Structure 1
Amino acid sequence: MKLEIKNLSKTYANGVHALKGVNLEINTGMFGLLGPNGAGKSSLMRTLATLQEPDTGSITFGEIDVLKQKDEVRKLLGYLPQEFGVYPKISAEVLLDHLAVLKGVTKRSERKELVASLLQKTNLYDSRKKNLGGFSGGMKQRFGIAQALLCDPKLIIVDEPTAGLDPAERNRFHNLLSELGENTVVILSTHIVDDVKELCTDMAIINKGEVLLKGNPIESIDTIKGKIWRKVIEKTELEDYKANYKVVSEKLISGKPIIHVYAESLPDASFESVAADLEDVYFAQIFGAEQGAVQEVVAV
C-alpha cells in the first residue's frame, strides 16, 4: 500500500505555521523524515496518526481516505509518539495484554500468544513481569515498538525513537526497525542523520513546515559529490568564515573547529576536498532554505 500526502497545511491557534503545502509519496519500506527540532515533523506525524486535523490537503493510504476514515486507518496503524508514557506500576506483560484488548483481540489465548511473541521480538520477554516504572529508556522504547506492532499494522509511525538512547540500545532499535520495513510502510521521524542513513531507502528533509528534498539518501549524496570542502580553523575565525563562505556544518575535534563548506570548486588552497555524506546534504538543505544560498544543491 502507498501513502500519499497532498498539499497538507496546518497553522496552530498561536500562529505557528507548522506545515506548508506538504506533498509526499511514501511506498513500502523504511522512509526517513529528517529535520531539526521544530521543523514540523511531529505535526505531520500526528496528522498521519489521525490525532489532529490539517487546515488543507488530503492523505490517502491505499484506498482509505485518512482524514475521513479514521477508524479504518487506526485498524492498520502502529504509532510510537515522541513522548510515550507508560503506567509505572503495571508489568509489561499486563499492559501489552490490555492494549491488545483495546485493539480488538478479545480471545484470551490469542492475546497470550501475541503478547509473548511481541515481547520476544523486542527482547523484553525476560522482563515481562517487571513493572514498567523500572524499565530503562531503551526498554521503554522497545515496549513502545511492541505496542505499535499489535495486530500486524500496515502503517507504522515512529517519532524520534532513538533520541536519548545509548549506542547499544540504539543499535538494538535499528535492528528491530529494519526488520519491520520489509512488508510495511514505516515512517521514521528524526533529527538524527545517521538513523536515516543506516535504515532508510527513501527520505525527505523538512524544515519550517516545508519539504526541502525527497529522494534516495545515496543519490542525494551523489548530487553534492565534489562540492564539499573541509578546513581546520581557529575558534576566533569561525564567524568570518560563516560570513564569507557557505559553511554547511561545523564540529569540534580536539577543541578546534572543522568546517565543511559547500562550493562548486576549491575555495582556496587552504581547503581540502572531503567525501560528502548525508549530514552534508542535510545541513546544505537547511542552510539553503534559511539563507537562500545553496537551494540548488538538491532539487526537491
Structure 2
Amino acid sequence: MKLVIDNLSKTYENGVKALQNVSLEIPKGMFGLLGPNGAGKSTLMRTIATLQEADSGAVTLGDLNVQTDKNAIRQLLGYLPQQFGVYPKMSAEVLLHHFGVLKGITKKNERKEMVDYLLHKTNLYAVRKQNLGGFSGGMKQRFGIAQALLNNPKLLIVDEPTAGLDPKERNRFYNLLSEISENTIVIFSTHIVDDIKELCNNMAIINRGEVILKGNPLKLIDQLNGKIYQKAIQRSDLDAYKKQYTVINDKLFLGKPIIHVLSDVPLNEGFTPIEAGLEDVYFSQINH
C-alpha cells in the first residue's frame, strides 16, 4: 500500500495559494516533509487527513480515495496535528480509553490491552493516573502519539511533532516513530532539518505551496558535495558577500558570522571546502 498525491491544489478565500500542483508518491516507511512555516505543510496534512478538501487533484491510499472514501480512510489513519487539545482534568489512561471507544474499539479487554501497550510504548504508564493538565510538553506529545496509534493505523501523520521537546524527549520520539514506520506509512512534517536527517529515507521540500525538491536525503546531499564552502566574516561584510557569492546560509559561531556558499568552481580568499549537509540542501532550495 502507498499514498499517492496527484496534482493537489488549494487556494484560500484570501487568495493565498496554499498548495500548487503537489504530486508525491509515499511508500511504507518514514517520509519527511520539510519546509518553513507557512509553506503549505499543514494544509497538505489536513487534506490527507480528510479534514479539508482541495480545489483540484486527488489523494489515494491504496484503492481508497481520500475525498470520496473519508470514513474508510479514517479507519486506517492516525493523526497527530501541530496543535491538539486534551481534557486537563482527565487522566491519560481514562482519555485513551475514551478515544479507543470513539475509534471503534468497543471490547473492554481488547481496549485495555491496547491502552496499556501504548502507555508502556510511549513511556507514560507510570503516570497513567495523572491528569493531563499536569503533563509537560513532551509528555503531551507522547500522549498525542499514543492516541494516534490506538487503531493500529496504516497511515500515520505527525505535524511538527518535536517542536518544543528537549533533546532527550526528541530522541525518544525518534526511536518510537522509527519503530512504527517499519510497518506503516509515516509522514513526518517539520521545519526542523535534523528531524528529517535522523529519521527519513525519503523526503520532499515544500515552499510557498510547491514541492521544489524530493528524493533520498543522502543522495540529495551527495549532489552538493564539493560545492559548499565556508568562511568566517565580519558582520558588516555580510551584504557584500551576498552580492558577490551564492550565500545559502549564514549563522553565528562563537558570536562571529559564518557563511556557507554554493559554488560550482573552487573558491579561494579564505574559503574552506566543507562536506555538505542536509541543512545546505534545504537552504540552497529555500533561499535560492
Q: Same fold (TM over 0.5)?
A: yes
Alignment deviations for residues 255-277 of structure 1 (CA, whole Å, 9 cap, x no partner): 10000000101233321100000
Partner in structure 2 of residue 298 of structure 1: none
Partner in structure 2 of residue 296 of structure 1: none
Alpha-carbon deviation of 1:9?
0.3
AA aligned to 2:199 is L
What is the alpha-carbon distance in structure 2 between the residues aligned to residue 3 and residue 25 of structure 1? 6
What is the alpha-carbon distance in structure 1 between the residues aligned to residue 74 and residue 244 of structure 2? 51
What is the alpha-carbon distance in structure 2 between the residues aligned to residue 196 and residue 52 of structure 1? 26
Partner in structure 1 of residue 11 of structure 2: 11
Alpha-carbon deviation of 1:245?
1.1
Partner in structure 2 of residue 105 of structure 1: 105
What is the alpha-carbon distance in structure 2 between the residues aligned to residue 254 and residue 277 of structure 1? 20
Classify the secondary structure of the residue corresponding to 2:129. Answer: coil
Alpha-carbon deviation of 1:109?
1.2
- The alignment's TM-score, normalised by the length of structure 1, stands at 0.95
AA aligned to 2:94 is V
AA aligned to 2:13 is A
Q: Aligned runs of 1:157-196 on 2, under 5 Å?
A: 157-196=157-196
What is the alpha-carbon distance in structure 2 between the residues aligned to residue 43 and residue 188 of structure 1? 14
The number of residue pairs the alignment matches comes to: 288
What is the alpha-carbon distance in structure 1 between the residues aligned to residue 150 and residue 257 of structure 2? 47
In structure 1, stretches of 5+ residues that fail to align are: 289-300
What is the alpha-carbon distance in structure 2 between the residues aligned to residue 160 and residue 273 of structure 1? 33
Partner in structure 1 of residue 233 of structure 2: 233
Alpha-carbon deviation of 1:202?
0.3
Classify the secondary structure of the residue corresponding to 2:287. Answer: helix
Partner in structure 2 of residue 74 of structure 1: 74
What is the alpha-carbon distance in structure 1 between the residues aligned to residue 20 and residue 147 of structure 2? 31
AA aligned to 1:273 is P
- The alignment's TM-score, normalised by the length of structure 2, stands at 0.99
Partner in structure 2 of residue 261 of structure 1: 261
Q: Aligned runs of 1:116-131 on 2, under 5 Å?
A: 116-131=116-131
AA aligned to 1:224 is L
Alpha-carbon deviation of 1:248?
0.6
Give the root-mean-square deviation of aligned CA atoms. Answer: 0.7
What is the alpha-carbon distance in structure 2 between the residues aligned to residue 151 and residue 164 of structure 1? 27
Partner in structure 1 of residue 28 of structure 2: 28
Alignment deviations for residues 4-60 of structure 1 (CA, whole Å, 9 cap, x no partner): 000000011111100000000000000000000000000000000000000000011
Classify the secondary structure of the residue corresponding to 1:236. Answer: helix
Partner in structure 2 of residue 150 of structure 1: 150
Identity, % of aligned pairs? 67
Alignment deviations for residues 243-295 of structure 1 (CA, whole Å, 9 cap, x no partner): 2211111110111000000010123332110000000000001122xxxxxxx
In structure 2, stretches of 5+ residues that fail to align are: none
What is the alpha-carbon distance in structure 2 between the residues aligned to residue 287 and residue 115 of structure 1? 45
1:52 aligns with 2:63: no
What is the alpha-carbon distance in structure 2 between the residues aligned to residue 135 and residue 223 of structure 1? 44
